[in-house]
Every structure is written in C-alpha cells, then in structure tokens.
Structure 1
Amino acid sequence: MADVEAPLLPNVEVRVAKQTRLFYGIVTILLLGEIISNADASMMLASGARIMSEFNNLQNVDWLSTSYSLGVCAAQPLYGKLSDIYGRRAMMLAAYISYFFGCTISGFSLVYWHVIGGRIITGIGGAGLMTMASIIITVAELLFSYSDIVPVRDLAVWRSYINLCMTLGRSLGGPLGGWLTDAVGWRWLFHLQAALTATAVIPLALMLGSEHGRDDTADNKTSKAKLQGIDCNDSQLMTPISGVLLALALSCLVGFVLVERHVARDPVFPLSLLQQPNVLASYLVTHRATATEAGARLVPAVVGNAIGGLLAGTIIKRTGRFKFITSIACVFAASSYAMVWLFWDGTSRRWESLYIFPSGFGTGMLQAGAFVSMASCLEANQVAVATGGYFLFMNIGSTASLL
C-alpha cells in the first residue's frame, strides 16, 4: 500500500506549488491594476491644464476628472453582481479592455470632447480595476486553500496590500504625469496606461478560469435569465410615488436657486461664484509654493496611510480583532484635524505638514478595519455585490470632497 500511495505525494506538492505561483501571478496583475487606476486622478491634476490648454479650453479642465468620476460611479456598483452572473474573468477582462480603449481614445483625440468621452470609458474600466481586485482576492475561488472567503486575519493583510497599492498609485501619478507631460507630451500619459493594460490582458485571461466566480447555483438559470432578474422591468420610474419624489426634488432645486439669487441677503452659496473661472484657481495659490512643493507637503499623509494600513493588517492577522482598530483609527484622524484647527494660523511652515500624518495613519487603519468588518458578516455570495458598493461610496466621498 505504501508503494502505491508514495508517488502521489510529490504530485500533490507540485500541484500546490503550481497553484501558489498561479495565485501570486494573478495577484500581481490585479495589484498593478489598482496602481494604474488610482494613479489616474493625480496624473490629471498634474497635466490637466496642459491638456486643455492645447485645445484652448482651460476653463473645462475639471471635466478631465469629473468625466472619469462619472464613469466610475456609474459602473462600480454593477461589477459585483455582473461578476456573479458572467464570472470574474469576463468582468475583469471587460474592465481592462474598457480602460484600454478609453485611454487610446483620449491619447489620439483631436478635439477636447473626444478626450472627455475617452475619460468616461476609462472611468468605466477603472471602476472594474479597483473593484474586481478586491472581489477576486476576497472570494473563495481564487484562494485555493480556503473554503468560503479568506479568513478574517488573512483578509486584513491582503486588504492592507491593496490599500498600499492604491496609495502608491496616487503618490506616483502626479510626479510621473508631470514628468511625462514635460518630457514627451501629455498624450503619452494615455498611451502608457493603454500599453500597461493591454499587456496585462493576455496573462490574466490565461490565468483565470473561464468559469471563475460564476454563480451557477440559482435554479440552473441562464445568464440572460439572471440578468433579467436584476433589471427594472418590474419597477418602472414613472410610478406615482417616483413621480412625486422626482417633482419634489426638482421643486426644491428650483426653489433653492430662486431664493439664493433673488431673496437671500447672505446666500449660503452665491451663485455668481459659478460665473467666475478664477475662483478655483485662487485655491491653488499656496504661499507661492510650486505644484511639486505643494504635493510634497502631502507626503506625511501618504506615508501615514501606508503605515496605518499595513499595521492594521498585521494586528488583525495576529489578534483577529478589528473593532478596536476601527475605533482607534477615528481617534487618530480626529486628532489630526484638531491640530490643524487649533494651530494653523494661515501660513504653512514645512514642519506643520506633519499635522496631517495622524490623519493618513488613521485613514489607512480605518480602510483595512472597515473592509474586514464588512466582509466578516457576509456570506460568500454577497461579497462581490457588497465590495462594489463599498468602493462606490469611497468614490462618492472622494468626488464630493472636491465640490
């Protein structure tokens, strides 16, 4: 009996080693997507003025970021459910292909509206790059040695790695975007991103199985039947209650505009500001600091974010507790804002940039703890949809902070 079973042991070890290499190969590509998608925003901040100046539309520079955010927010909640229906590989490839075509369109555009259209398509792909990495790493099918989802302790570590790549992308995007724009022109920003995503598509298609992540347990329904189950055929917009709510919302908007313009002596938001293109530019004047110097003063927050995420992941892995991490993270963030409020006197000395380190540190811890807290109370078939919603609200918050 021993002679018969002995040859099986090396085969098992070889299979495990092969699966391990496959796992890390997939994760590397997914984390690359996180870096690319998160670098985009800071790239546009560094090069947006140059891009729109070439088209004589500097007043529309905000649309480079806004159009991308619109694509992200529109597509992000869909990736989770659609990946349950069509599989992780199909949606991951769709995200990479959308990102590739969006960057290609923007890179070869001759009028600025083509750039904006390309940015919307890029945002649709970027939503998938950000969301699908967390879904695939979290859900069981990828991690061959686990039964349902990644155990909470290991999930915290992987989440900290994702957070680190997101932070790295945001940090590198600005300097890289400014350097490429000055050295070879802004079009190479889009060409480089398109090349990186195209390079990742082939190995990703080969590594992920065709049925990866697909849910085939729901009464043997076809993908078309499952898709019809989540559409709006049975919940039309123009029902009586929807009509009332829509009319009420429009009435409130019209009323707000009329009151702010014609009635209020001290408007909450003077509408005349919207007619002044220099209002936004005035916020960019920071003690005569260059864009590079202003960006360098954000380094403490970036470093704190990375350290906080990694530390939180390590603590949760060792202790299995995340409630304390989430609570203490809020204290760190609040202390940072309190220091800025108490000690900032209108000038920005270099050492005062350290005030924002606790904010970044607390945010990094909170991102790791909040994601683990969410995933720990979900069934495996709920993780994909919940992850899409998690990233959607993150991007809504990021977009709202710019308004």
Structure 2
Amino acid sequence: MVSRGADAHHEETPLLIDATVPSTPSTALHPTSGHDLVDQEAGQASGSDDRARANVSVLQIVLVLLIGVFISNADGSLLMATHPIIASEFNDLRDSSWLLTSFGLAAAAMQPLYGKLSDIYGRKALILLAYTLFGGGCALVGVGTSMGYLILGRVVSGLGSSGMTALVSILITDLVPLRDVASWRSYVNIVATTGRSIGGPLGGWLADTVGWRWSFLGQAPLAGVAIILIAITLPAHTTQEPIDELKKSNLARIDVLGATFMVLTILSFLFPLEIGGDRLPWSHPVVLGLLGGACLFGALFVVTEARFAKEPIIPLILFRHKDVVLSLVIMICQTAAQVGLMIAIPLYFQVTSSASNTVAGAHLFPAVAGNAVGGILSGIVIKRTGRYKTLSLLALFTASIGYLLLILRWHGNTNWLESLYIFPGGFAMGVIQSTLFINVQAAIDPAHSAVAASSLYLASSVGMLIGMAGTSSVLQSTLKGALERKLTDAGFADKEKWKIIGRAISDVHYADHAKPSVGKLVIRSYVEALNWTHVFSLACSLTAFFVSIFLRQHKL
C-alpha cells in the first residue's frame, strides 16, 4: 500500500500549484547560524502565507461548487416528497417510483466514468458537462406532458447529478491532506443537508400552490449560473496526469469496451430489481435473462480490465483491498436502508394524517438534520483523532435502533416526539459517508484516488436503487395483500374489492374521499405495508453494521 503522505504532490493539487512553495529545507532541522535562522524563519513565514493563500483558493473553489451540491440534493428530496402527487396527476401512481429509479439507474451507469474521465479531460470539463446535463434534464421534466417524458428528463438529470456530487469530493481530495478531507466534506455536507431539508417542504409547497413543475423549472437557471461561475473560477489545469501522458490522444485513452461492459452489467443487474416481484414475477424469463446478462457482462468486464485495457476504467487492483470491498458493501446496505425510509416517511403522513405535500415533506427534516450532525461530528473526530472505525460502528448501531423503533411505535398516530425516530438513520448516513470515504482513500494507492471515489459513489447509487426497488416491491406486495385480506374480512364482494384495491394503490389520497369504513381499512393497510418497509431498512442496516466490524483502522 502506498501511503498518501509519501509524496507531497498527492497532498497539493496542481490547481494551486502557483500558490504553493517547497517546504522548509531539511537543513532547518540542524543547528544554524544567526543568518541561517533568520532565513529559516522568513521561509516559515512565507510558507504560512502561501498555505493561507492556498486555503483561500480552496474555499473559493468549494464555494462555487456548493451551488451544484445544493440543487442536486434539493432535487432528490423534493421528488421524494412529491413523486406520488406527480404520478397521481397522470393517474399512474404505480409507476411513481420510476421517477426515482430512472434517475438512479442513469446516475449509477455514469458514476464510475466520471472519475477516470476527469483524470483524462480534467475536473473542470467534466464538472461543466455534469451541470449541463442536470439543468437540461430538469427543464425536460418541467415541460413534460406524460410520465414517459418525465422519466426521460430524470434520466438526463441523473447522468449529470452523479458527476455534480462525486467530482466535488474528488476535488477536495486533490486540494487538501487526507486527514482534513472529512472536515471539508462536512462543510459540503451542511449545504447538502440544507438542500435536502429545503427540498422536501419547498417541493410540497410549490405543488400545493403554483404546481410541481416549477420545482424543476426553477433548478435550470440555477444550474446555468453555476456553469458560468465554474467557467470563471475553476482553473482548467485539473488533471494530475504526467505531462507525457497529456500529449497522448485523450480519446484513445478511454477504455470504451470496459466502460460499455460495466454499464451493461450495472443496468442488467439493477433493472430486474425494479420490475421483479411487481410487474413481472421473479421467475419470468425477462428477469432471469437480465440477471444472467449481468453475470455475463460482469465476466466480460473483468476480462477486459485484466487483459486488454491499457488504462482500465476501474483498475481491478482496487478490489484486492478488503477494506475497499467492505466499504462498498456497507455503503450499498446503509444507503438502501435510508432511501427506503425517506420514501416511506412522506407517504406515511399523507395517508395517516392527510398531511399536505408541504407538511409531508417537512417530516423528512429530522433525517436530513441527522445527516448534517453526523457529517460535522465525523469530520471533527477524524481530524482530531485520525480514527473512524468505532464511529462507523456506533452510527450504524444507532440507525438500527431507530428503524426498530419505527416498526414498534409507528402505527398511525405519530406525535412530534416519535417522529424523531428517523433522526438516527440520517445521522448514520452522515457519519459513514465521511468514514467510508476516508477509509477507501487511506487504503489505496493515491494514483487511484479519483476512480476509488467514483466507485464509492457508484455504491451509493446502487444502494439508492436497491432501496427504492426493495421498498417499492415490499410496499406494493404487502399493500395488496393487506387490502385484499381486510376487505375480504369486511365482506366486500370480489368485484368491488378489486376496484377499491386498484384505486387505493393508484391514488395516495383515496382514503380521504372514500367511504369512512373503506378509508379506515385503506389507512390500516398502508400502515401495515409501510411497517414492512421499515423491516427492510432494518435488515439492510444490520447487515452494514456486521460488515463494518471487519473494517481495518488505517493510520492517517
């Protein structure tokens, strides 16, 4: 393993190459004359000034990038709060999860490409591309006239959003020493949390007043402003490749075949998770064929990267590190757990208390606040102690307790105090986003820093898709079962029973205008189904906890 501190060039980015100077000469460690001492002190003062200027440059760059961090996170939470309303407008509540899933599939497919492509073409070019795709996708959603059109817009937005998040962390890793990375990322996490906090209530308020379309149309101009500021502020020299490598054809250096097999592997694996058990049975030839294709494409990807790729899109050497593999598994599991929770919460309050979109979205606040607290606390602890494993274990254990409390206590009449049970899950996400990032960066050769960061974000995207698909599958299957059982027990005939079931699963507010007796049955069925989604989250979080026991604590 190559230590990140072994080479100063891995601790100082070429972005700030003009603002940095060589460290104090080694002769300063030995007895010096009076004149030498004066020169030494002057050099130290100069070094302090240069470091201060470098910190200012880092701050300027990060501040500009925070615009994208804010809008990309606000976008996710506002859609989680309003996707049932959007789909209900098209009488297609059953397909509402596709607004989230299409975004996640596109993000997952593109995520690992950003790291390597930013090494080749530079960070700035890829960040500008990401913002352009995101803004264009938001505009498409805002003017969409059908669910298909909206899903297409979410695909385009997802292609951009994955770069808007991953490249910020990659740049921070370029800019500052590893021990300080968690602190800087915690500041970014505050902005991300603010976006998630505002996104849900804002999206709900816009849906209740001027319409949900402005939730997306309003993001496009912000993306445009960010593009202009990045073009002005971010230096173009953002690649850490050697000069002789830069002279090669950039296009020839792209591992096109490996990238193709990787994308096909991801999509072939994740797509069946969305349709299996809901639209098609798990034994259906399409589902089995896609899963088989994922295995085939995965094998071809490994062979390509191992034998043919001169510059692999994802170097296989990364997966020889146990800590990298464990970190990816933990990220997938905990993200799936938390995304499942974030989807279920607005729906729970819309059904059980007839909450408006604004209020339902606001109920996500404890989770996003927990995320901010977890990110800030982990940054402080890692910077002061250099330790992160115990923090990860504590956070994941706390999250599991929170999910268990939801199962035991949320049965339709939830007061404000019990609504705080979602705080631990958000806290755990804030912690592990920092600790796993640091763990992966500490475990690998710094030359693979960008690719490793993208891989971790890919794991987050995969976890998000698993969480959405798992939650949707559990919700749909258990809701149908609960409705059928309760309506049968109440004496409804088959024809009327299936009519009620069809309307209940296609309109989140059906219970509000149904007969009181039917409405109560629908609400109780929803509560039962949502309870099983919390079981899904608990299972994922406990898996992450047990896997984290085997993490190694690297010295920072």
TM-score (norm 2): 0.57
1:77 to 97, 101, 112: 112
1:327 to 393, 396, 421: 393
Give the whole-Å Cα distance in 2 for the aligned partners of 1:185 and 1:23.
39
Structure 1 unaligned residues grouped into runs of 5+: 144-149, 239-252, 259-279
Which residue does the alignment assign to 1:267?
none
Identical amino acids, percent of aligned pairs: 40
**Alignment partner of 1:32 is 2:32:** no
Q: Which moved more, 1:308-317 or 1:13-22?
A: 13-22
Give the whole-Å Cα distance in 2 for the aligned partners of 1:71 and 1:162.
23
- Deviation, structure 1 residue 12: 8.1
- The letter for the 2-side match of 1:356 is I
Structure 2 unaligned residues grouped into runs of 5+: 1-34, 37-41, 265-279, 286-345, 470-556
- Deviation, structure 1 residue 360: 2.6
**Alignment partner of 1:299 is 2:299:** no
TM-score (norm 1): 0.76
Structure 1 pair 181/254, CA: closer, same or farther in 2 (3 Å)? Answer: closer
**Alignment partner of 1:191 is 2:257:** no
- The letter for the 1-side match of 2:204 is G
Which residue does the alignment assign to 1:115?
150
Which residue does the alignment assign to 1:256?
283
1:178 to 204, 222, 244: 204
Structure 1 pair 305/12, CA: closer, same or farther in 2 (3 Å)? Answer: closer
Structure 1 pair 234/218, CA: closer, same or farther in 2 (3 Å)? Answer: farther
Contact kept, 8 Å, 1:83 with 1:214, in 2: the verdict is no
2:419 to 345, 349, 353: 353
**Alignment partner of 1:162 is 2:188:** yes
- Deviation, structure 1 residue 86: 0.8
Structure 1 pair 363/29, CA: closer, same or farther in 2 (3 Å)? Answer: same
- The letter for the 2-side match of 1:38 is N
Q: Which moved more, 1:165-174 or 1:9-18?
A: 9-18
Deviation digits for residues 162-214 of structure 1, max 9, x if unmatched? Answer: 33333222221111112233343333222221111110112212222223125
Give the whole-Å Cα distance in 2 for the aligned partners of 1:88 and 1:190.
26
Give the whole-Å Cα distance in 1 for the aligned partners of 2:207 and 2:262.
47
1:206 to 208, 229, 232: 232
- The letter for the 2-side match of 1:317 is K
Contact kept, 8 Å, 1:157 with 1:310, in 2: the verdict is yes
**Alignment partner of 1:400 is 2:461:** no
- The letter for the 2-side match of 1:327 is L
Structure 1 pair 369/58, CA: closer, same or farther in 2 (3 Å)? Answer: closer
Contact kept, 8 Å, 2:81 with 2:361, in 1: the verdict is no
Deviation digits for residues 244-292 of structure 1, max 9, x if unmatched? Answer: xxxxxxxxx987249xxxxxxxxxxxxxxxxxxxxx9899523444444
1:224 to 244, 251, 255: 251
Deviation digits for residues 50-79 of structure 1, max 9, x if unmatched? Answer: 544555655543332222222211111111
Which residue does the alignment assign to 2:30?
none
- Deviation, structure 1 residue 233: 9.8
Structure 1 pair 351/186, CA: closer, same or farther in 2 (3 Å)? Answer: closer
- The letter for the 1-side match of 2:424 is P
Deviation digits for residues 289-336 of structure 1, max 9, x if unmatched? Answer: 444444444433322222122111101111111122122222222332
Structure 1 pair 102/206, CA: closer, same or farther in 2 (3 Å)? Answer: same
- Deviation, structure 1 residue 379: 2.5
Which residue does the alignment assign to 1:367?
433
Q: Which moved more, 1:66-75 or 1:181-190?
A: 181-190
RMSD over aligned Cα atoms: 3.7
SS in 1 for 2:283: helix
